[in-house]
Structure 1
């Protein structure tokens, strides 16, 4: 996988990732940015700037949108580039175009409380099946879907990748982008949720890849309270050097953070809390 540049994020979003990348390119701390906004007679709390760049809160009020316009000047990005990202995400979060190589849509209507991915690597060294269990909380009334996205490799066409609903969801609309190798499926809940209501659902991703798999990662759209990734290997194809890595948008290479060891079931796992980095994953090699 590769990660988008700031220029790509300004085209495809999501807003919070583009804002964070722009702030980091300018080398400004949030406090310094807050002071520069104040010099322009725009008062924004430090906590609000943090929430905007983490995706916890989306600027929607006229006062907030004015602040975003000033941010564009301070961060030296094209005029209305950040504002356009806010405008182009519809009320249900489905954007006008497939968002390319971003980890999710800029909906901000679901809080991901917990995500548990179980990856099954077969005897041919291919991660052809992923079982995902998610716990989410609605940020507002009426939320009734989750946008499941998956990045495949060059050995398959996106039409061959399939999301199979397992529990408390069903497939709605589907979109594919062969250029970016991404597939997106709406997973519709049984009913609309009330604000602050939680929902548990499960689905399986079927990927008929024909290449040796060497990693699995999921993207964090804004903030993830609990992340658990398990990778189960066939006894006929055991890896070497399994380890955890993290990577943010602006980073060209991932950070190796922890070595892992196979357990008695030929599996490894990584559990992490309060995740705000854009990618968290497990990587391995073949002897």
Structure 2
């Protein structure tokens, strides 16, 4: 699983991901960053900085843009690199065209409020089925679809992966990138949503590629209020050392956070709120 570097994010955006990656690379807390801005007579609230890096709000006023210009110096990124991302973005905050990215990456018209995935690992140690329930809220009127991105394990034959609509959605277009192990399916809602309207839908992913699985993760582009991952293991294939991990765009390797124990049914789960890192997942080993 690879993630864009800070340098790549400064080229393609979006602004909030690039800002967050730059802050993390400098090792600054938001409070320290706020104090350094204040030392240069730039007043920005802590909550505003948080909103900017999570994609909830974009700086658009002259005062906010001046703050971004000062931030570029404090974060040691090239002059106007963050400002250019704001200037070249469409109404969603993402660039109108992002070369080399799959459908759905350059759209930010749905806010994912909650995601609950149930992963089923069979006796052959394969995560052959994932059931997902997703709650979204429309950022604008007229949104009527969701792009489900599925990253297969290394060397997986991505073309074999299929995603099955289960409730409140129907199949649309699909595309794949074999080199990246990525397949994208368009899930169409039963209607176009109004701005601020929520929608609940379910779908299942089937991966018959036959490779042993050692992890499952949620990819978080901006902010996820609730993330629940359950992994159910067949009694004939119980793992060892299950644990939670987190990884951000600018981190080459994930870091372990919580050790998990199998319950009486051979399952583990992890529930997390207010997720702003780019990957939250569960890993395990085979004895």
TM-score calculated relative to the size of structure 1: 0.84
Contact 1:95 1:105 in 2 (8 A): no
Contact 1:238 1:266 in 2 (8 A): yes
1:236-274: CA deviation from partner (whole Å, max 9, x where unpaired): 211112122222223333232222222233221111222
The 2-side partners of 1:92 and 1:144 are apart by: 19
DSSP 3-state at the match of 2:183: strand
DSSP 3-state at the match of 1:253: coil
Counterpart in the other structure of 1:134: 134
Query: Is 1:165 matched with 2:165?
Result: yes
Counterpart in the other structure of 2:20: 20
Q: How far has the Cα of 1:149 moved from its partner?
A: 1.2
The 2-side partners of 1:206 and 1:65 are apart by: 46
Give the total of aligned pairs: 284
Q: Report the RMSD for the aligned CA atoms in angstroms.
A: 2.8
The 1-side partners of 2:168 and 2:66 are apart by: 40
Counterpart in the other structure of 1:277: 277
Contact 1:156 1:208 in 2 (8 A): no
Q: How far has the Cα of 1:217 moved from its partner?
A: 0.6
Matches within 5 A, 1:68-83: 68-83=68-83
Matches within 5 A, 1:111-126: 111-126=111-126
Contact 2:153 2:213 in 1 (8 A): no
1:147-169: CA deviation from partner (whole Å, max 9, x where unpaired): 22121233234333222221112
DSSP 3-state at the match of 1:49: helix
Q: How far has the Cα of 1:40 moved from its partner?
A: 6.4
1:162-216: CA deviation from partner (whole Å, max 9, x where unpaired): 2222111233343433333322333222222122221101111222333210010
Counterpart in the other structure of 2:182: 182
DSSP 3-state at the match of 2:216: strand
The 1-side partners of 2:91 and 2:6 are apart by: 22
TM-score calculated relative to the size of structure 2: 0.84
Contact 2:160 2:209 in 1 (8 A): no
Q: How far has the Cα of 1:35 moved from its partner?
A: 5.2
Q: How far has the Cα of 1:11 moved from its partner?
A: 3.3
Matches within 5 A, 1:74-113: 74-86=74-86, 87-88=88-89, 91=92, 95-99=97-101, 105=105, 107-113=107-113
Q: 1:92 to 1:22 in 2, by over 3 A?
A: closer
Contact 1:168 1:200 in 2 (8 A): yes
Q: 1:49 to 1:189 in 2, by over 3 A?
A: same
Long gaps (5+) in structure 2? none
DSSP 3-state at the match of 2:282: strand
Contact 1:155 1:210 in 2 (8 A): no
Q: 1:185 to 1:96 in 2, by over 3 A?
A: farther
